[in-house]
Structure 1
Amino acid sequence: MDDPVLRVQSQLTDRDRVLLGWLYDHGVLTSFQIAHAQFSSLDFCQRRLRTLHRLRLVARFRPQRAEGGSYPYHYVIDQLGAEVVAAGRDERPPRRDHARTERRRWTSSRTLAHRLGVNQFFTDLAGYARTHAGAELRQWLPEAACARSGAFTTAADPALVRAYQPRVRPDGYGVWAEHGVTVPVFVEYDAGGEQLSVLVDKLAGYRELYATVGWVWPVLFWLHSAARERNLRRLLVEAPPPVPVATSARDWAAAAGLCPAEAVWATAHGDGRRHRLADLVASVADLRHPRGAAA
């Protein structure tokens, strides 16, 4: 009996497998995001995406702009692609309607812009790593994976793995490495619609998480605008955060031609100077605490 997963395996490159895994985990990526993260040219990227689409590994849709015209193609996992990813991870095959459900979710989702914004943060890091020797996006987890029980604990402590479920729901988690320095980070993507006090209140959950797992990582607020960042930093001065925090604004970074890997981050405990992402490891050097510390 012909197995379509086995049949298509020999046609996949390592880059294809990474992309399929991203789509399976993170839902949706535009052709521009994929090209920046993985390819030397948009044309080369589009040719490969057409091949993956022909093989029914990925599906695509193209939202219409309110002012006329359309956005670039948005890519999601197709059913065969989901089965390939599950087989490669030695996981149970996805439901037969997995791809259809995901496609409907993103073609009609009011959270599409937010998800694309979060994914832009990480594809910007991947694109920087692609073009800069010594840089690497070693891990990228979506919100759902961050919320799973035991997501940030280790197999060396099985009781804790089974019992603890994080109260925080970051928009993403990543491990960034550059020139021998590794820094794990949580990302809070701000679309500009929430009260800033809601963002500040999230930090209590991170404090609880860190007290449980015995490790501390920076929490990054990737803010909608420079004005939002200034206002958030005023709140953080009035109520110093209980965990390491760094802030930046997307409009300011874009105007400066900088991506999240570069010197765009101002620490909440600092003097406002901007730091590279890898340099944020210094902001937590004195804040790590042993497991069991009081929250």
Structure 2
Amino acid sequence: MDDPVLRVQSQLTARDRTLLGWLYDHGVLTTFQLANALFPSLDFCQRRLRTLHRLRLIARFRPQRADGGSYPYHWLIDQLGAEVVAAARDERPPRRDHARLERRRWTSTRSLAHRLGVNQFFTDLAGHARTHPGTQLEQWLPEAACRRIGTFAGSSDSVAVLAYQPRIRPDGYGVWAEDGRQVRFFLEYDTGAEQLDVLINKLAGYRELFITLEQAWPVLFWLHSAARERNLRHRLDELPTMAPVLTGARDTAASRQLTPAGPLWAVAGAAERRLSLGDLGREP
């Protein structure tokens, strides 16, 4: 019997496999996000996406703008693509309706803008790495992976660490490499819609995780605006330190034409000296 997974695998490049894995893990990405992160040009990206779409590895939709017109194509994993990813990872095959459920989820969800914002952060890092030798986004995990038992156990042989199920719900976890140094971090992506107390209350879960692991990694709050960042920093200054927190603002990044890899990050509770993401691996 002809196996479509085996048939299509020989047509895939390493970049295709990265792209499929991202869609499988992170739900939805736009043409421009994928082009910036993985391809030398938008035209090259569009051609390859059309090929993967024709092979029924990925699906697409195009939301309509409220004021007329439409957004760029948004890409999702298709059923065959999900099966290819699962096979490559030696995981159980996805449910037969996996792609249909994902398509329904992201074409109708109110959280689409938030997910795209989170994915923009990580694809901006990948795009930066693509054009800056010596830098790399080595790992990008979604919230679901961060909540699994043993995800952050590493080489620990502690029963408590191996059995610990994190209570955190980050928007993502990444490992950034720069000049031979690694920076592990969690991302909290702020839309500006939540009360600041909601953001602050998330730190208790990180404190518990770091106490269990006996090590701590930066928690990056990527704020909607510089004004909101100032307000959050003022609140954090009044509280005991529960986790290593850094803040940055998207409007500042846009005005300075910087990616999240740039000197945008300030340590909460300290003087407002801006660090790059790579600097965090150099801090004592």
Residue 264 of structure 2 corresponds to: 264
Residue 146 of structure 2 corresponds to: 146
Specify the SS of the correspondent of 2:87.
Answer: helix
Contact in 1 for aligned 2:233/2:269 (Cα 8 Å): no
Quote the offset at 1:182 in angstroms.
Answer: 0.7
Specify the SS of the correspondent of 1:247.
Answer: strand
Quote the offset at 1:201 in angstroms.
Answer: 1.4
Contact in 2 for aligned 1:154/1:161 (Cα 8 Å): no
Residue 274 of structure 1 corresponds to: 274
For residues 224 and 211 of structure 2, the distance between their equivalents in structure 1, rounded to whole angstroms, comes to 30
Residue 290 of structure 1 corresponds to: none
For residues 170 and 139 of structure 2, the distance between their equivalents in structure 1, rounded to whole angstroms, comes to 15
Deviates more, 1:139-148 or 1:236-245: 236-245
For residues 91 and 158 of structure 1, the distance between their equivalents in structure 2, rounded to whole angstroms, comes to 26
Number of corresponding residues = 284
Contact in 2 for aligned 1:59/1:77 (Cα 8 Å): yes
Please say if 1:59 is aligned against 2:59: yes
What is the letter of the counterpart of residue 234 of structure 2?
R
**1:270–1:215 distance in 2 versus 1, CA, 3 Å:** same
For residues 169 and 18 of structure 2, the distance between their equivalents in structure 1, rounded to whole angstroms, comes to 24
What is the letter of the counterpart of residue 273 of structure 1?
R
Quote the offset at 1:160 in angstroms.
Answer: 3.0
For residues 30 and 112 of structure 2, the distance between their equivalents in structure 1, rounded to whole angstroms, comes to 11
Residue 218 of structure 2 corresponds to: 218
After superposition, where does 1:217-256 map in structure 2 within 5 Å?
217-256=217-256
Contact in 2 for aligned 1:149/1:163 (Cα 8 Å): yes
Contact in 2 for aligned 1:150/1:160 (Cα 8 Å): no
Unpaired runs of 5+ residues, structure 2, are none
Residue 74 of structure 2 corresponds to: 74
Specify the SS of the correspondent of 1:209.
Answer: helix
Unpaired runs of 5+ residues, structure 1, are 286-295
Contact in 2 for aligned 1:37/1:130 (Cα 8 Å): yes
Residue 192 of structure 1 corresponds to: 192
Specify the SS of the correspondent of 1:71.
Answer: coil
Please say if 1:50 is aligned against 2:39: no
Contact in 2 for aligned 1:240/1:269 (Cα 8 Å): no
Residue 9 of structure 1 corresponds to: 9
Specify the SS of the correspondent of 1:242.
Answer: coil
Q: Could you give the per-residue CA deviations for residues 78-105 of structure 1, whole angstroms, max 9, x where no partner exists? A: 0000000000001111010001100110
Q: Could you give the per-residue CA deviations for residues 110-154 of structure 1, whole angstroms, max 9, x where no partner exists? A: 110000000000000000000000000000000111111122113
Specify the SS of the correspondent of 2:71.
Answer: coil
Quote the offset at 1:268 in angstroms.
Answer: 0.8
Q: Could you give the per-residue CA deviations for residues 11-43 of structure 1, whole angstroms, max 9, x where no partner exists? A: 000000000000000000000000000011111
Specify the SS of the correspondent of 1:229.
Answer: helix
What is the letter of the counterpart of residue 123 of structure 1?
T
Residue 118 of structure 1 corresponds to: 118
Specify the SS of the correspondent of 1:185.
Answer: strand
**1:178–1:69 distance in 2 versus 1, CA, 3 Å:** same
Contact in 1 for aligned 2:191/2:224 (Cα 8 Å): yes
For residues 128 and 236 of structure 1, the distance between their equivalents in structure 2, rounded to whole angstroms, comes to 30
Q: Could you give the per-residue CA deviations for residues 209-237 of structure 1, whole angstroms, max 9, x where no partner exists? A: 00001111000000001110010010011
For residues 27 and 16 of structure 1, the distance between their equivalents in structure 2, rounded to whole angstroms, comes to 16
What is the letter of the counterpart of residue 98 of structure 1?
H
Identity %: 73
Quote the offset at 1:155 in angstroms.
Answer: 5.2
Specify the SS of the correspondent of 1:47.
Answer: helix
Quote the offset at 1:282 in angstroms.
Answer: 4.3
After superposition, where does 1:125-164 map in structure 2 within 5 Å?
125-154=125-154, 156-157=156-157, 159-160=159-160, 163-164=163-164
Contact in 2 for aligned 1:155/1:161 (Cα 8 Å): no
Specify the SS of the correspondent of 1:137.
Answer: strand
Q: TM-score, normalised by structure 2?
A: 0.97
Contact in 2 for aligned 1:27/1:76 (Cα 8 Å): yes
For residues 158 and 14 of structure 1, the distance between their equivalents in structure 2, rounded to whole angstroms, comes to 36
